[in-house]
Amino acid sequence: MDKDDQCSHQWNVAFAQPNSRPTNFATTTTTTLRTMGPGLEKIFSSNSHWLAAMNATEPEFFEQSAKSQSPKILWLGCSDSRVPESLITSSRPGDIFVHRNIANQVHPDDDSVLSVIAYATEVVGVEHILVIGHTNCGGATACLDASTENTSPSEPTTPLARWLAPLTKHVRTLKLEGLSKSEALMKVVEESVRVQVANVINTVPVKATWSAGKKNLWVHGLVYELETGRLRDLGISQGSAEKPMTNRIQSRGARL
């Protein structure tokens, strides 16, 4: 089993299996984080090096950073470890307000994402909300696989399946016949971004911002290409004075 197949298998297992809890879980431990393996030790070591570098070049940075934040961008992205927003945009602490979840979903009844959007627009004052999908998305792959099963759709029984259920349902409506697996997955990724952009636009905080006459808030849809490291604009951006979203989502967009 190659690395991609192993990743896909792990997603499918998590997507399909009921809730389970680890057994023989130790209730107490005296082990410190620094001694729990090279992965955690690297986090502390890298933090120390970064801290020293920042203090050497910008000794007042942390003092100023602690006072306030005024990012102009809200990033609604996927939890995938290969899409770190600050790194791929060469941004600094304080530049981007962030919310990430599995498959970059914006559910109308999800208080987590709604509270982020509300705080970002009402308190922080962001000017751009970016919905960022990415190629080879495990969540999108799980939805695509579930949508093509020959069995009748069943009620989701796991947290992951419930989270992805709206996207899975939408994927079943797409015309994917004749497409290769990679082509179908790309279409699912892009269509999901379009749906989430529309969901963001229909949230109370965004509509309230536009209704109040604030025209400097924009919502955008992009796809990050893991294979190239490039952000690709889907050309579906919308501001308060733009035409309805349904008239714009067919635009193909261009690479940034």
Closest by CA to 72, choosing from 218, 238, 229, 234, is 218
Q: Is 78 a catalytic residue?
A: yes
Residue of 78, 143, 145, 194 marked active site: 78
pTM of the entire structure?
Answer: 0.82
Residue of 99, 134, 194, 220 marked active site: 134
Q: Is 7 a catalytic residue?
A: no
Q: Is 82 a catalytic residue?
A: yes
Query: What does the block give as tokens for 3?
Result: 């690395």
Show pLDDT as tens, one digit a residue, over the chain (256 residues): 565 565 555 555 556 555 555 555 445 455 677 677 778 889 999 999 999 999 999 999 999 999 999 999 999 999 999 999 999 999 999 999 999 999 999 999 999 999 999 999 999 999 999 999 999 999 999 999 999 886 677 788 899 999 999 999 999 999 999 999 999 999 999 999 999 999 999 999 999 999 998 889 999 999 999 999 999 999 999 998 654 444 333 333 333 3
Q: Is 134 a catalytic residue?
A: yes
What pLDDT is recorded for position 184? Answer: 98
What pLDDT is recorded for position 155? Answer: 85
What pLDDT is recorded for position 12? Answer: 59
Residue of 5, 21, 34, 82 marked active site: 82
Residue of 99, 137, 143, 232 marked active site: 137
Q: Is 137 a catalytic residue?
A: yes
Residue of 80, 143, 220, 232 marked active site: 80
What pLDDT is recorded for position 245? Answer: 45
Residue 169 dihedral angles phi and psi, to the nearest 5°: -60, -40
What pLDDT is recorded for position 64? Answer: 96
Closest by CA to 207, choosing from 244, 234, 170, is 244
Q: Determine the Cα–Cα distance for residues 111 and 53; give it in Å rounded to an integer.
A: 38
Q: Please report, for residues 108, 137, 221, the alpha-carbon distance to residue 143 in angstroms, rounded to integers and kept in the order given.
A: 19, 10, 20
